[in-house]
């Protein structure tokens, strides 16, 4: 099975070489257990693709990006080559910012995909026809597979080993790497980072106000009057700038503050709920679980111990 890892400009080198080594380890395990499947893994730069037009790969991997924004405008030669490989039967796979490159092929249109949670807003703006499920670390649509965060290349490598080889090889590989092969979600690790550079100064003032008064009951009508605009206009401008309704934005602020307090204090969740503006502790707990995918106690255990 021929695997091509695309070593594009400023791709994350730890993932490029790490994936190659993962497949080599999978080959060793396969041999030890008497299986005949092997992975022939190659690193390809974008300048080497012209000489590979006649080759047919089993899977093509676009790894995370390290620094530059190459992934936002990949060259047409790379996209055309990837599409041709897909027509020949190759699985196209990506991790983190690499999903932008995969999305440029339009083979994700109408399908689910994931990328780094910090790139979600940009991805949705650039590729609105793709159903982004950023809570997930990995989304497998069989012929296209996407993974979320910077280190999700590990999850992606394990998934490809299981799909192209044997699940038992994947599980043994996880044990050797001491990597959790159970189900995880990206939302366990996400942080709410407000968008403040959208250019609407009134909305920025409102965002600062919400941040400073998140423990207080706040009505949209009150905010609108404070900035001398109608409630309808304020709501429209706020959603346009932040991609969230004010109540949703305030909920995100409160959940993030709850996460911070769970990690940095020993306060009970009942106390934390009151500190972030909830009298109904049960309602706050339900919101936390819905947003983070973990109960408050499980969150504290995972990140604090």
* Model confidence at 185: pLDDT above 70: no
* Model confidence at 188: pLDDT above 90: no
Cα distance between residue 291 and residue 188, in whole Å: 9
Cα distance between residue 114 and residue 145, in whole Å: 9
**How much of the chain, in percent, has pLDDT values that exceed 90?**
61
Domain regions of the chain by residue span: 2-188, 201-303
Residues 274-284: tens digit of each pLDDT: 999 998 999 99
Of 219, 212, 217, 215, give the one whose Cα is nearest residue 274. 215
* Model confidence at 39: pLDDT above 80: yes
Of 125, 101, 99, give the one whose Cα is nearest residue 112. 99
CATH 3.40.50.880 fits 2-188, yes or no: yes
Question: Residue 172 has what pLDDT?
Answer: 86
The stretch 27-37 carries a mean pLDDT of 87
Q: pTM higher than 0.85, yes or no?
A: no
Topology alike, domains 2-188 and 201-303: no
**How much of the chain, in percent, has pLDDT values that exceed 70?**
97
* Model confidence at 193: pLDDT above 80: no
Looking at every residue in the chain, the average pLDDT score rounds to: 90
What secondary structure, in 3-state letters, does 138-155 show? EEECCCEEEECCHHHHHH
Token pair for residue 54?
């006649």
Helix segments in 11-65, DSSP class H: 13-32
* Model confidence at 75: pLDDT above 70: yes
Question: Residue 50 has what pLDDT?
Answer: 80
Q: Which fold has domain 201-303?
A: Arc Repressor Mutant, subunit A (1.10.10)
């Amino acid at each position: 099975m021929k695997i091509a890892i695309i070593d594009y400009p400023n791709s994350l080198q730890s993932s490029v070489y790490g994936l190659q080594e993962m497949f080599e380890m999978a080959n060793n395990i396969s041999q030890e257990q008497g299986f005949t499947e092997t992975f022939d893994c190659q690193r390809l730069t974008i300048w080497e693709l012209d000489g590979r037009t006649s080759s047919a790969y089993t899977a093509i991997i676009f790894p995370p990006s390290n620094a530059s924004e190459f992934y936002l405008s990949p060259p047409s030669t790379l996209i055309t080559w990837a599409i041709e490989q897909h027509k020949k039967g190759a699985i196209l796979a990506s991790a983190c910012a690499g999903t932008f490159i995969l999305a440029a092929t339009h083979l994700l249109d109408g399908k689910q995909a994931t990328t780094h949670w910090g790139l979600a807003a940009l991805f949705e703006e650039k590729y609105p026809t793709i159903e982004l499920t950023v809570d997930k670390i990995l989304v497998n649509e069989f012929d296209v597979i996407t993974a979320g965060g910077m280190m999700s290349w590990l999850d992606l490598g394990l998934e490809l080993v299981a799909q192209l080889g044997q699940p038992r090889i994947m599980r043994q590989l996880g044990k050797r790497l001491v990597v959790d092969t159970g189900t995880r979600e990206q939302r366990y690790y996400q942080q709410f980072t407000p968008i403040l550079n959208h250019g609407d100064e009134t909305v920025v003032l409102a965002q600062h106000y919400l941040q400073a008064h998140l423990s207080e009951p706040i009505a949209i009508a009150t905010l609108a009057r404070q900035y001398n605009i109608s409630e309808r206009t304020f709501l429209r401008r706020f959603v346009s700038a932040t991609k969230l309704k004010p109540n949703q934005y305030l909920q995100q602020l409160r959940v993030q503050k709850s996460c911070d307090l769970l990690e940095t204090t020993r306060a009970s969740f009942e106390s934390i709920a009151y500190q972030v503006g909830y009298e109904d502790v049960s309602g706050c707990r339900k919101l936390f679980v819905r947003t983070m995918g973990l109960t408050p106690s499980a969150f504290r255990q995972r990140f604090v111990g």
